[in-house]
Amino acid sequence: MRLLVMGQQAFGKAVLEALLERGENVVAVYCAPDKEGRPLDPMKEAALEKGLALYQPGDFKDPDVLAQMRALEADLCLMAFVTLFVPEEARETPKHGSICFHPSLLPLHRGPSSINWPIIGGATKTGLSLFYPDDGLDEGDILLQREVEIGPDDTLGTVYFKKIFPLGVAAMVEAVDLFREGRAERTQQDHSKASYESWCRKKDVRIDWTKPADQVYNLIRGANPQPGAWTTCDGKTVQVFDARKIDNAGGAPGEIVAVTDATITVAAAGGAIEVQRLRPEGEGKIPAGDFAAAAGLKPGAVWS
């Protein structure tokens, strides 16, 4: 099959490399345009290293872009982490159209931060979907889905990189076989069960220490490593990353109840959070104990 691979960053690169390793015929790679002052996208680098045809259109509605896509006479387009809007005329250029990766069990968690929000909400499972994109946001028919567990101490980073990322690469490769063998199915999403969340941003992840410790911990996990749940210490922002939940630590919400060489323990409703790694405002990530020593933090101080 003649394949177009469209995407960016580490996931796009991994999908491209997996296809090439099994000898698939990738006739062109499409990446987002370069950004001034930013390093080359990993997927672009991989395409250049392999000597593949590489295109970086800024507008897929451009007649010249569409003509060039048609000239490739592709059978299938695999969209592996695509942020630009790709209109129907471009998506349907290949014989079998396009398949898009999304890191949730659609129709749940449509939108750009679809791994953060299930963790923040306390979900115990999520997954990935390959679907036939349409002009709606993550609304197209499903080709296949894979479920993953969200463990009690999983973070955004572990769910994505250790679970969804490798399963997603394998699923994209499997999709090629499904089309090659005439076994590609279409299952309509149940739109009545759909949920949508926008970007998980800094304004969404301020820690409210009056909330139950479970909710505080889920917020920290779901924002680790991005955008980083945060609180304030002496009027300055402190982002909290690695942590664990502790039961029955005493203290008022936000009160520091213990400080060690390695950790800071902060009370929340019904429990506490033992902070192991954090980022003070304007600095890099450091062990919580180092921050406590530098700031002179003692039990009884309050974060808010």
Task: CATH number of the domain at 13, please.
Answer: 3.40.50.170
Are 128 and 232 members of one domain? no
| pLDDT per position as a tens digit, 229-261 | 999 999 999 999 999 999 877 899 999 999 999
Q: Domain for residue 301, yes or no?
A: no
Are 120 and 164 members of one domain? yes
Check whether 16 has a pLDDT greater than 90: yes
pLDDT at res. 292: 97
| pLDDT per position as a tens digit, 127-186 | 999 999 999 999 999 999 999 999 999 999 999 999 999 999 999 999 999 999 999 999
Q: How confident is the model at residue 106 (pLDDT cuts 50, 70, 90)?
A: very high
pLDDT at res. 76: 98
Q: Domain for residue 67, yes or no?
A: yes
Question: Mean of the pLDDT values across residues 9-22?
Answer: 97
Domain count, the chain: 2
pLDDT at res. 248: 77
CB 87 within 8 A of CB 69: no
Select from 192, 198, 195 the least CA-distant residue to 111.
198
Q: Domain for residue 286, yes or no?
A: yes
Which of 148, 176, 193 terminates a domain? The answer is 193
pLDDT at res. 124: 98
pLDDT at res. 83: 85
Alpha helices in the chain (DSSP H): 9-21, 42-49, 63-71, 88-91, 116-120, 156-158, 165-180, 213-222, 288-295
Q: Which domain holds residue 128?
A: 2-193
Are 275 and 133 members of one domain? no
Are 25 and 89 members of one domain? yes
What tokens were used for 164?
């969804």
Are 230 and 181 members of one domain? no
What tokens were used for 267?
């009370």
CB 240 within 8 A of CB 231: yes
pLDDT at res. 84: 87
Which of 172, 193, 214 terminates a domain? The answer is 193
In degrees rounded to 5, what are phi and psi of residue 272?
-155, 165
pLDDT at res. 10: 96
Residue 213: CATH number of its domain: 3.10.25.10
What's the pTM? Answer: 0.95
Question: Mean of the pLDDT values across residues 13-38?
Answer: 95
pLDDT at res. 249: 78
Residues 6+ apart with CB under 8 A from 30: 4, 5, 6, 7, 54, 55, 56, 57
pLDDT at res. 158: 98
Which of 124, 158, 193 terminates a domain? The answer is 193
